[in-house]
Structure 1
């Protein structure tokens, strides 16, 4: 495979623009770049979560998700390009269902936290929601396919359920929200 990134310091972005995968240049604060950045930030936090000691199978699942997010990033970087398919969304739905059979149904809202690993999963969930909102904003300006948004929507659900699994595996209870009583 030839070197893909032969020069990291290009100085081509010094004026506040960046190149897309199709060679066009856009402002670094464009909605498309914002969405790319949110997906990249999510992928970085998933990498941080993957540094933790996790139950069997979670590391491979997270790595697969990271690859999917690179695919999503390529879609965002090359307008009109499609890399994700319904099978990517189905993968997440299957993972979620496998987690849910191991958990008791929730009757209350839960607070992010419990174990460090669960807390990191909640951070991934909230960044994922932000990335999804960025894609909705971009879609309102430049129509995108539905799969990327659906993927991020399921992925935030995945991280919510994963956080619960991580707490359960560590013997920690979910932290239930309690409405503060006012006098």
Structure 2
């Protein structure tokens, strides 16, 4: 059997050597999508059914974020409205959202905090892309809200498991 070689075998992504910030955005959103998968695995073990259903819908949307700049816009106003509804549904479950919580708790909640951080990194990478080319404002809205949704999901998962949030008091900001 003869071994065939192609350049594709040595390339993990065809655009890796581009100078554009777009590649960094695409790598960031790929990481976000991967982290959502990791959070899903933990939430399945923790039997967080409502949050699992949300992440199962969010994961492909994260890949759609990935291609929506280089390719066709794949995030829709309906996707944003759905995400808005998720946020509204979770935000009404608590009245102490003015606090800043340490990212901790169950494995699933901790991974949702990682997803929150990845969404913020993706937003920042998208901002850099927007300095090079036009970017649909819907992508910024979706990513910003997505980070906030991951936060409320993490808090809900902890609450479902009886884990108390730990309020963070900054020595740098506020009354100190």
TM-score, length-scaled by structure 1: 0.81
Q: Could you tell me how far apart the structure 2 residues matched to 1:37 and 1:15 are?
A: 14
Shift of residue 103 of structure 1? 1.7
Contact kept in structure 2, 1:16 and 1:27, CA below 8 Å: no
Q: Could you tell me how far apart the structure 2 residues matched to 1:178 and 1:102 are?
A: 23
Q: Could you tell me how far apart the structure 1 residues matched to 2:88 and 2:137 are?
A: 22
2:31 to 38, 41, 63: 41
Shift of residue 124 of structure 1? 0.5
Q: Could you tell me how far apart the structure 2 residues matched to 1:141 and 1:148 are?
A: 15
Contact kept in structure 2, 1:17 and 1:27, CA below 8 Å: no
Q: Could you tell me how far apart the structure 1 residues matched to 2:162 and 2:12 are?
A: 49
Hey, which of these two has a bigger chunk of strand by percent?
1
Matched residue pairs, number? Answer: 164
Structure 1 residues 29, 167: CA separation in 2 closer, same or farther (over 3 Å shift)?
farther
1:1-183 equivalences under 5 Å are: 10-12=6-8, 18-19=14-15, 27-28=17-18, 30-52=20-42, 53-78=46-71, 81-179=72-170
Q: Could you tell me how far apart the structure 2 residues matched to 1:91 and 1:34 are?
A: 27
Contact kept in structure 2, 1:117 and 1:166, CA below 8 Å: yes
Q: Could you tell me how far apart the structure 2 residues matched to 1:54 and 1:131 are?
A: 28
Structure 1 residues 142, 10: CA separation in 2 closer, same or farther (over 3 Å shift)?
farther
What SS does the corresponding residue of 2:7 show, helix, strand or coil? coil
Deviant stretches of 4+, over 3 Å: 12-17
Q: Could you tell me how far apart the structure 2 residues matched to 1:46 and 1:54 are?
A: 16
Hey, which of these two has a bigger chunk of helix by percent?
2
Unaligned runs of at least 5 residues, structure 2: 172-176
Shift of residue 17 of structure 1? 8.0
Q: Could you tell me how far apart the structure 2 residues matched to 1:120 and 1:111 are?
A: 13
The alignment yields a C-alpha RMSD, in angstroms, of 2.2
